[in-house]
Chains A and B, each alone.
Chain A
Amino acid sequence: MSPAALARPSIRLPGHRQMALGIARQRLAIGILLFGAFTILLGLRLGELALFDGAPRHAGVAVASPHMRADIVDRNGLTLASSFEAYALAARPRDIVGDREALVQKLALILPERDIAAIRAAVFHDGKFRYVTRRILPEQAEAIRRLGEPGLTLEREAERLYPHVGLAAHMVGYTGIDGRGEGGMERAFEERLTDPARLSEPLVLSMDARVQQALESELQSQMTLSEAEGAAGVVLDVHTGEILALASLPAFNSNSPGGLTGMPSHMNRATLGVYELGSTFKAFTIAMALDSGVVKSLDERFPTNPIHVSRFRISDIHPKPYPLSVPEVLIHSSNVGTARMAERMGAAVQKDFLKKLGFLDRAPGELLERGRTLYPAEDNWGQSAVLTVGFGHGIAVTPLHLASAYATLVNGGVRHEPTYLKVPEGAKRQATRVFSEKTSRLLNGMLRLAVMDGTGRRADAEGYRVGGKTGTAEKVLAGARGYDRRRNITTFAGAFPMDDPRYVVVTMVDDPSKGSRMAGTVAAPVFKNVVNRIAPVLGVAPDMAREPDTHAMDGLYTPRKKPVQP
Chain B
Amino acid sequence: MARMMLKSPGNAAWMRDGSVRSGRRGWASAAFLIAGTLAVALTSYSLSLKVSSERRETDRIARQNRALESELKAMDAELRVRMRLPQLQRWNDTILGMVPISASQYLANPVHLANYGKPLPGDAPALPSVQLAVRDVPIAPSLAKPLLVSAPGAPMEKGATTRPSQASLPIDPVLASAMSQAVSSQTAPDDLLRQVEMTFQGQPGNP
- Mark A residues whose CB is within 8 Å of B: 59, 61, 63, 79, 82, 84-85, 161, 163-167, 209-210, 212-213, 216-217, 461-464, 532-533, 536, 541-544
Contacts and interface: CB of A to CB of B under 8 A. Distances in A.
Interface in B31-51: none
A462 B89 contact: no
B116 interface: no
B192 interface: no
Contact of B66 (A63, A210, A213, A216): A63
Interface of B: 55, 59, 62-63, 66, 70, 73-74, 76-77, 80-81, 84-86, 89, 100-104, 106, 108
Nearest to A85: B70
A544 B80 CA distance: 38
Contacts of B80: 79, 163-164
Given A63-B66, A541-B106, A213 B74 contact: no
Task: Among B86, B89, B108, find the residue whose CB has the most chain A CB atoms closer than 10 A.
Answer: B86
Contacts of A79: 76-77, 80
Given A61-B62, A210-B85, A84 B106 contact: no
Contacts of B55: 59
Nearest to B99: A532
B85 A209 contact: yes
A165 B86 contact: yes
Contacts of B63: 61
A376 B85 CA distance: 43
A167 B77 contact: no
A463 B103 contact: yes
Nearest to B92: A217
Nearest to A216: B86
B84 A462 contact: no
Task: Classify the interface of chain B: helix, strand, loop or mixed.
Answer: helix
A293 to B, nearest CB: 39
A541 B108 contact: yes
Given A462-B103, A532-B100, A542-B106, A163 B81 contact: yes
Nearest to A533: B100
A205 to B, nearest CB: 15
A217 B92 CA distance: 11
Contacts of B84: 163-165, 167
9 contacts: A61-B63, A79-B76, A82-B77, A163-B80, A167-B84, A217-B86, A461-B103, A463-B103, A543-B106
A543 B108 contact: yes
Contact of B77 (A161, A210, A542): A161
Contacts of A533: 100
Contacts of A209: 85
A543 B108 CA distance: 8
B110 to A, nearest CB: 15
A462 B102 CA distance: 8
B103 A213 contact: no
Given A61-B66, A163-B81, A164-B85, 12 more contacts: A59-B55, A79-B77, A163-B84, A164-B86, A166-B86, A213-B85, A213-B89, A463-B103, A536-B100, A542-B102, A543-B106, A543-B108
